Every structure is written in C-alpha cells, then in structure tokens.
C-alpha cells in the first residue's frame, strides 16, 4: 500500500514537471517575439507563425499519439515525447532564420503532442476516482506555474541573454524530466494493448487539421489559402466518415455521439482556449511595441494572470469533486468573458493597474474553468479510453489555441500588413488588437452555454460510460 502511494506521488511529480515544460515554452516565447523579429527582420505575419506552428503541430499529432499510447504503452510515448521535445528545443535555439525556427517549432510541437497525449492519462490511470479532481487540479496548477514563470524567466532571459537562452533552458529541463521518468516511472498503462492502429485515420486527421488551420490563418496573405481551407474541410469530413466505419478507430467518434458530458466538456474547452490563448501574445506586443516596455518589464506585468491560475486551480479541482463540474466551469467561463470585455477598450493610455487587475480577473476565471472541466472529461469514460480522452481534451485545448492564433494572425495581416514589426503603425496595431479582443469576448460568451449544456452529471458518474 505504501509502495502504491509512493508510486502515485512520484508519478504526479514527473507528470507535473512535464506539464510545466510546454506552457512555459509558449508563454516565454511570447515575450521574445519582438526580439526574434528584430534579429531576423521578420514581419508580424511570420512572427505569428513562430507561435502558431508549434501549437498547430501539437494539435495535429495529439490524437494519433494518444491512441498509440493506449496500444503500445503511455510511459513509452511519454518518455519519447520528452526526449523529442528537448532535442527540438535545442535546434530552435540554433536556428539562423525565422523560417528554420518555424520548422524546428513544428518538431517541438510534435514532441509536446506526445507529452500532452499521455501525462493526464497516466495520472488518471494511477489515481482512484475520488482523488482525480484534486490530482488534476495539482497538475493544472503546475501548468499555470509554467505560464507564471514563462513571462518572468522568459522576459529576463531574453533581455539579458538573448531569445536563444529560452530554448536552451527548456532543453535542459527536458533532459531532467526524462531522466526522472526512466529512473522511477514504473508501468506502461496500455489500456488498449493488442488492438490495431488506425494509420489511415491518423493521416486524414493530421493532414485535414493542418490544411484547415493554415488556410484560415493565411487567407489574407496567400491566394492559395482558400483552397487549402477547403481541402482541410474535405479531409476532416472524410476522417469522420471513415472513423465511424471501422472497429478500432484512432478517435472513437461514438464517444461524442453517446456521451453528453464528454462532448460538451470538450466543446467548452475548445471555446475557452480559442477565446483566451492569444491574450498573452497580444498583450506582449502591446506592452513592448505600443507602450515601449522591454521584455523583462512586460513579463512582470503579465505575471498577474498565471499566478492567480496557479493558486486557485487545486482549489477549483477539489471543488469539482464535491459540486457539479458544469457549475464551477460555467462560472469560470462567465468571469473570463468579463475580463475579455474589459480588454476590448485597451489603448496606449490604459493604466497599468487596470491592466494587471483585469489579468488577475482572467486568471480567476480560467482557474475555475480548467480543472473542473478536465475532471468532467476524464471521469466520463472507461479506463481503456483514458489515453484517447486525455488526447482529445488536449486536442480541443491546442486546436482552440491554434484557432486563437489564426484569428490574431489573420487580423494582424489585415490591419498591420506584411511589414517588419518594428516599422508597424502602432495605431493600426492597437486597432487590430482591440478587434481581436472583441471577437474573443463574443466567442467566450457563447462558451458559457456550451459549458452549461453538459448536464447535471458530477464528473460523469450518473451517466453510463461508453
């Protein structure tokens, strides 16, 4: 019994460290975007892809790797993912052009997909249902610690050591995580061992999602984008039709058609991340390009949001073990909507205290949403679907983030144009930022109703699991 408890604690520690890596990377790089732009003389459009390429690759490969982990073992895929993530981080630091940096960010995204698709599934496999909300809350809190330290450490390292240092630091952390995982993480947790892997579905899914998202974000900059968008839609329709026709699909579509809790919890996650992810990117541009702060100062200003997230997430996760997750999550979505509404009025003269107070409000909303929503998703399915449920939730998160960045990339192309960021018209940049926040506010408001629609099911316990 003591040995089981020790394994659980160690597993939580390793999974939490891995869960720290990817959000730290994302939030730290946001602070380095202006510096990368100056070094490579890059346009706002290409700099948007420095962030978007990583997220899009993560989203495209998450479901395929989640299913692979269910078959061959979650520990194997997890460890390979951390190694791949660390090596690609090193390559990002060595990049000598913005195009090669974007290519290496794609590789980094593939590594993060292997981590995202397994970490939460491993935790759900190890811990009993009555502790699940608390443990997932701790794991989400670690994600927010990564988001918290990202702006501070990333801004400081970028300001004093150069943007490359962010990637080198991440590579070292990845090495530490994989060593800890290989030494003490016991078990494989393969819930679908022996089943056939659906290669056709995996290819259709990845190709369809990449084509669709690239088409959306590039439609204002490339004449070919609309054709890619249509191709992506066609491939995704073909994917859904194919997945419903085979016995062992890469993504069990029936989970969505027969499980209301699972469906609407995932939809709520998609909407929430779509509405909130680009906030850090936009405010980093606003603080540095419009208001003239350096990356170190901007990082400290942005810190108020993720610190609140980290402090409240364990409480919110525990609360969702006692109260309907839909009520806690829906309240969080409503608070987030209010925070986004305030940002619609952002301008060069907005006082810092108001901006930081609003970021704290967004942190409260997101903390109340995320842990209870994760608890609802993971508790609504059987054990053999933990890997695919984890990767599906991660896909909703990453797809939402990709859509969020696609909206921003599109609006920056429309308002700022294909010019170097340092030469951009700040009035046009402010206008594009405000329009972005207006769109995100409406999206988040719609998400409140998706969150409420999952029904009065406490973590799926009263509804039959499929």
Spatial distance between the Cα atoms of 360 and 364, rounded to a whole number of angstroms: 6
> From CA 403, how far away is CA 391, in angstroms rounded?
18
**pLDDT given at position 312:** 83
Give yes or no for a contact between 52 and 405, defined as CB atoms under 8 angstroms apart. Answer: yes
Picking from 52, 76, 282, 107, the residue whose alpha carbon sits closest to that of residue 178 is 76
Structure tokens at 167: 């990637």
Distance CA 364, CA 324 (A): 18
Q: What are phi and psi of 43, to 5 degrees?
A: -80, 165
Query: Which of 148, 149, 144, 147 is closest to 370 using CA atoms?
Result: 144
Name the residue among 257, 38, 310 with its Cα closest to residue 147. Answer: 310
pLDDT at 460: 43
Looking at residue 383, its pLDDT comes to 67
Instruction: Determine the straight-line distance between the first and last CA of the chain, rounded to whole angstroms.
Output: 30
Contact between residue 372 and residue 325 where contact means Cβ atoms under 8 Å apart: yes
Residue of 243, 262, 272 whose CA lies nearest to 67: 243
Domain spans in the chain, listed from the N-terminal domain onward: 2-197+250-460, 198-249
Phi, psi of 456 (to 5 degrees): -85, 70
From first to last of the 466 residues of the chain, give the pLDDT tens digit. 555 677 777 878 888 888 888 878 877 887 788 888 888 888 777 887 887 888 888 888 888 887 888 777 778 888 888 899 999 999 999 998 899 999 999 999 899 888 876 777 777 777 777 676 677 777 777 776 776 677 778 888 888 888 999 999 999 989 998 888 887 767 666 556 667 888 888 899 889 988 887 887 677 667 787 888 899 999 999 998 888 888 788 777 777 777 888 888 889 989 998 998 888 888 888 888 888 888 788 878 887 787 787 788 778 877 777 777 778 888 999 999 999 999 999 888 889 899 999 999 998 998 888 878 877 777 777 766 666 677 677 778 777 877 888 888 888 878 877 666 666 678 888 888 999 999 999 999 999 988 888 765 554 444 444 4
CA angle 362, 12, 177 (to 5 degrees): 95
Domain 2-197+250-460 coded CATH 1.10.10.10: no
C-beta atoms surrounding 197 within 10 Å: 16
The Cα angle at residue 82 between residues 77 and 85, in degrees rounded to 5: 120
Alpha carbon distance 299, 305 (integer Å): 11
Contact 434, 408 (CB under 8 A): no
């Amino acid at each position: 019994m003591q040995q089981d408890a020790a394994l659980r604690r160690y597993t939580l520690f390793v999974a939490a460290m891995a869960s720290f890596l990817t959000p730290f990377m994302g939030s730290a790089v946001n602070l380095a975007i202006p510096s990368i732009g100056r070094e490579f003389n890059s346009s706002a459009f290409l700099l948007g892809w420095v962030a978007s390429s990583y997220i899009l690759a993560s989203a495209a490969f998450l479901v395929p790797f989640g299913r692979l982990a269910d078959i061959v073992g979650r520990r194997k895929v997890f460890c390979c993912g951390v190694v791949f993530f660390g090596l690609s981080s090193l390559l990002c630091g060595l990049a000598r052009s913005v195009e090669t940096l974007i290519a290496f960010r794609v590789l980094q995204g593939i590594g993060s997909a292997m981590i995202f698709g397994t970490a939460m599934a491993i935790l759900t496999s190890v811990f009993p249902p009555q502790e699940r909300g608390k443990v997932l809350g701790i794991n989400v809190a670690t994600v927010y610690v990564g988001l918290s330290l990202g702006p501070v450490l990333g801004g400081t390292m970028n300001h004093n050591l150069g943007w490359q240092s962010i990637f080198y630091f991440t590579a070292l952390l990845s090495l530490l995580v994989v060593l800890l995982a290989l030494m003490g993480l016991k078990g494989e947790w393969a819930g679908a061992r022996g089943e056939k892997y659906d290669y056709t579905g995996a290819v259709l899914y990845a190709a369809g999602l990449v084509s669709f998202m690239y088409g959306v974000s590039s439609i204002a900059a490339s004449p070919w984008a609309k054709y890619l968008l249509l191709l992506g839609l066609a491939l995704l329709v073909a994917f859904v039709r194919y997945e419903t026709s085979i016995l062992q699909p890469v993504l069990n579509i029936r989970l969505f058609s027969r499980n209301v809790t699972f469906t609407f919890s995932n939809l709520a996650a998609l909407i929430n991340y779509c509405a909130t992810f680009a906030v850090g990117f936009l405010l980093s541009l606003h603080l540095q390009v419009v208001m003239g702060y350096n990356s170190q100062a901007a990082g400290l200003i942005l810190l108020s949001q993720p610190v609140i997230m980290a402090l409240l997430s364990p409480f919110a996760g525990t609360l969702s073990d006692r109260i309907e997750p839909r009520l806690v999550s829906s309240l969080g979505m409503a608070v987030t909507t209010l925070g986004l509404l305030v940002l619609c009025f952002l301008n060069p003269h907005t006082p810092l205290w108001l901006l930081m107070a609003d970021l704290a409000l967004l942190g409260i909303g997101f903390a109340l949403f995320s842990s209870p929503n994760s608890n609802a998703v993971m508790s609504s399915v059987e054990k053999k679907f933990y890997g695919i449920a984890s990767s599906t939730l991660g896909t909703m998160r990453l797809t939402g983030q990709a859509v969020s960045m696609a909206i921003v990339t599109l609006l920056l192309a429309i308002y700022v144009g294909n010019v170097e960021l340092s030469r951009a018209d700040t009035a046009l940049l402010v206008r594009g930022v405000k329009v972005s926040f207006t769109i995100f506010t409406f999206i988040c408001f719609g998400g409140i109703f998706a969150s409420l629609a999952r029904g009065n099911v406490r973590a799926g316990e009263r509804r039959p699991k499929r």
